Amino acid sequence: MKHLILPAVVAVAPLAAFAQVEQGPANADFQPAFENQTRAPALESSAVTVTTVADGLVHPWGITPLPDGDWLVTERPGRLRVLRADGSLSDPVSGLPEVDARDQGGLLDVAAGPDFAESRLIYWTYAKRVSGGTVTAAARGVLSEDRSEVTEVEEIFTQTPPSSNAMHYGSRLVFDGPYLYVTTGEHFSVSDRQLAQELDTTYGKVVRLTHDGSVPADNPFVEQEGARPEIWSLGHRNIQGAATGPSGELWTIEHGPAGGDELNLPEPGENYGWPVVSYGQRYNGEPVGSGEARAEGFEEPVYYWDPVIAPAGMTFYDGSFEEWQGDLLIGSLTPGGVVRLEIEDNRVTGEERIRQDLGRIRDVHMAPDGSLLLLVDQEDGSVLRMTPGI
């Protein structure tokens, strides 16, 4: 589906024609390609109650539910913990591989396998030190009955090539039936970021695998000589959020530079432009790549932010609070809190900023009761519960 290629600027309503979320001036002087591609109308403020579920975690990064009400939580230094239903935390689960915890690296996302109740398989992503540098890797293993260790560990994906920069690893895990999506980053440096456009690397890509790490036969570049067959889409910067939408489609969200955070609907084989085009600019104020926000052959983002929200984990709401039904809830690292997007027909129709005083929210996951569990990413981090409608 070719849904958002717009090589020329489309006339849109003036950005000041409706009430917007208060966010300050943009860094870059670009006009959106279509109405509500950025600074959508402000939604009515939501009433929420926030409580602390657990604290004392060191830079928590990913969280996933288990069938009996417990949760698994990663800590970036390399620890996996069980968060029990009563709010207590287990000792670190043993058996995980060593992680490269320098800079932005470490133990990252975690997901219980779709058949966890039978197989006890869990999956995780992490920064791995290898000969020649560091990479994003994904692995899986069997969680013991008492949840104290992981056995039968096998690596199912290793980014290529290694980088000397311990930055921009991605990464999130999303299951889609027999498939598993893994998102990656492009390691930040001016030289490394160019590889987001190269098909012989897995920098700045969405990767699509089966659960055991093999490559699906219908991936878009399987038959292309010199291309990595696991690539689903390319031209991404640093994808730290991914989720399945209400109709089963994959959505991703990635960090831009100074401005230009993007929400995308990655289609097979499509190119999302980084670092050739961007709705942001470099941190020193210089232009990114071509200096343009769009160009022929690159997909438009569904939505972008300037200034940034520094997006992390996200989820589509499907709980008991009707006012949020189908909305996208995104963790923000800067300025913090949760960003809510109302989406209709794959276009954003409204935005809300919720509790920006909560700090750096690294992941967002919906609990069975319709509340949200939020990870606060700091040295003395925590798990919060946000309950809407209270």
**Looking at the annotation, which residues are catalytic?**
168
Give the C-alpha separation, 130 to 386, whole Å. Answer: 39
Can you read off the two tokens belonging to residue 130?
A: 């290898």
CA 158 remoteness from chain centre:
18
Give the C-alpha separation, 9 to 226, whole Å. Answer: 35
Give the C-alpha separation, 59 to 76, whole Å. Answer: 6
Give the C-alpha separation, 75 to 42, whole Å. Answer: 34
Range list of H helices, the chain: 116-119, 190-193
Closest CA to 340 of 361, 307, 317, 312: 317
- Cβ atoms of 323 and 370 closer than 8 Å: no
> Left (φ > 0), alpha (ψ -120 to 50) or beta: where does 235 sit?
left
Cα–Cα separations (whole angstroms), residue 152 to 96, 126, 158, 181, 272: 10, 17, 18, 21, 37
Q: What count of Cα atoms within 13 Å lies in the side-chain half-sphere of residue 55?
A: 4
Give the C-alpha separation, 383 to 168, whole Å. Answer: 24
Residue 176 in 3-state DSSP? strand
Q: Which residues contact 97 (CB under 8 A, 6 or more apart)?
A: 126, 128, 139, 153, 155
Give the C-alpha separation, 8 to 53, whole Å. Answer: 49
Can you read off the two tokens belonging to residue 79?
A: 């620890």
Q: What is the largest CA-CA distance in the chain?
A: 60
- Cβ atoms of 204 and 234 closer than 8 Å: yes
Can you read off the two tokens belonging to residue 389?
A: 């409608």
Give the C-alpha separation, 9 to 36, whole Å. Answer: 13
